[in-house]
Amino acid sequence: MWAVTGGNPGAGDRIPRVAGARPAADLSARRVGGRGATGRAGRGASSPGRRRAGGNPKWLPIVAATCIIGFLLWYALVQAPTKRSDEAPGASLAAAAAAADDPNADTDGDGVPDGGSTANAPAPYIPVPAGRSGCDTGAALPPGVSTQTVTVGQTTRTFLLGVPETGPQSGPLPLIVNFHNAGMPAADMEVYTGLAAEATKKGYVVATPVGENNQWNFIRSAEAGPDDVAFVDVLLNDLHTRGCLADDRVFATGLGTGADMAVAASCAMPGRIAAIVSVAGSVIPQDCPSPTTNLFEIHGTEDPISPWDGGGPPRPAPFDSVTAQPVLERLDRYAKAAGCDAAPVTQPLPGLGELTAWTCEGKPDVGVLAAAGGGHTWPQAPDSEGFGPTAKSFSATVVSLLYFQAHAVAGASAGGQPPALAELLAGG
């Protein structure tokens, strides 16, 4: 039995206990617009304001876009993440974290990280502009896996870093920031998802930040801890100066409250993150003006922590005011804020669930896959006790990487680029 240990679970999440060590994968996202986009997906019910793609010629571009996503999902089914037979996914990152003086390590065995209280959070950090790019100075990030630190205000923050080891760099590398769930140490996030192991093989740098007490201040309250948006900003600036990264190819993934943190960061720093794959998220900030980030949600229809229709179990303070927002309503709100007023189009994907997409020419893609029968889990990851079932028909890790390839820069809409997507699929 493989157990995730760490901080006090909060914001509605609990520490999973999973069997096995099989890696997982990610999914792709498309945008939703229109009012009345409510109702439970994946159950054959249709809601007011939702339309099925039909024979009307004006829907042909949207039908084509949803078909492309369908092909992406099919591709993900046959491209299972690979792993070394002698090493569990994430073992290298776990070893790096263990070797470091991890402030969130549970050294006394009481199930609580030793990082201290969040009661006296420092004042919000005011970010400063990044220095010269490593592409200009010749700076290079250390290959392999390592534990890194940055200073945010007067606080030292930690993140795990995975860098490709495939010889000389041919150009700026894309970056993925992977946010762990509440109560899940960063190294265990990699063991659970296998994201860094897969992404570094494909030329991505992967940073896995460590939340204080393995929590995220996605509500941006001093009572909930330090300013984690400032942490993300400083982390991006640090990697910008220490290596040759593609500043317009910064992506993010997250699970549970980690997904909420990824979205909160993109809303607070418009233009910094090109695309997000959010798995089992709960909320989108009410204050998210004119977002430019493509957003794709993967959400289980049987999620007991962040139910599809909103609500869920009470959350401990200081997150007791947080309630999971209905999935379609919050994505509809995000699509409209991004300038897409189109009604959402829903497409059933047999064996997978139901895809709902908000697609407007020249606007960010927004969408959600209702993973039929899935819980508060990462599809194709090891089973998680107490978090509901795990969807096994596709890999969230593989789909995430495909989604990021299709949304190469901030504001790029896959719906308007079918030839590029066709080439992506043909290239495998």
pLDDT digits (tens, 9 = 90+) for 170-195: 789 999 999 999 999 999 999 999 99
Inside any domain, residue 330: yes
What whole-number distance in Å separates Cα of residue 415 and Cα of residue 180?
29
Tell me if 122 sits within 8 A of 151, measured CB to CB.
no
Tell me if 308 sits within 8 A of 326, measured CB to CB.
yes
Inside any domain, residue 93: no
Cis peptide bond N-terminal to 326, omega within 30: no
Q: What is the pLDDT at residue 379?
A: 95
Inside any domain, residue 145: yes
What whole-number distance in Å separates Cα of residue 121 and Cα of residue 231?
13
Q: What is the DSSP letter of 288?
A: -
Inside any domain, residue 191: yes
Q: What is the pLDDT at residue 93?
A: 54
Inside any domain, residue 97: no
Domain that holds residue 266: 23-79+137-427
b/e per residue 91-123 (b: at least 16 CB within 10 A): bbbbebbeebebbbbbeeeeebbebeebeebee
Inside any domain, residue 85: no
Tell me if 19 sits within 8 A of 382, measured CB to CB.
yes
Tell me if 122 sits within 8 A of 154, measured CB to CB.
yes
Q: What is the pLDDT of residues 307-356, one digit of tens each?
A: 999 999 999 889 988 999 999 999 999 999 999 999 999 988 887 888 99
CA distances from 424 to 65, 120, 300, 411 (A): 14, 49, 27, 19
Q: What is the pLDDT at residue 4?
A: 31
pTM: 0.74
Q: What is the pLDDT at residue 386?
A: 87
Inside any domain, residue 17: no
Tell me if 54 sits within 8 A of 106, measured CB to CB.
no
What whole-number distance in Å separates Cα of residue 224 and Cα of residue 219?
8
Inside any domain, residue 326: yes
Beta-carbon contacts of 63 under 8 Å, excluding residues fewer than 6 positions away, are 53, 345
Instruction: Pick the closest to residue 153 from 254, 225, 100, 252 (CA basis).
Output: 225
What whole-number distance in Å separates Cα of residue 335 and Cα of residue 296?
11
User: Which residue is listed with tokens 């534990």?
Assistant: 147
- Based on the structure, what is the number of domains in the chain? 1
Average pLDDT of the chain is 75
User: Could you tell me which residue, 404 or 12, shows the higher pLDDT?
Assistant: 404
User: Could you tell me which residue, 424 or 151, shows the higher pLDDT?
Assistant: 151
Tokens coding 92: 């290298």
Whether the predicted pLDDT of 71 surpasses 80:
no
CATH number at residue 349: 3.40.50.1820
User: Could you tell me which residue, 384 or 156, shows the higher pLDDT?
Assistant: 156
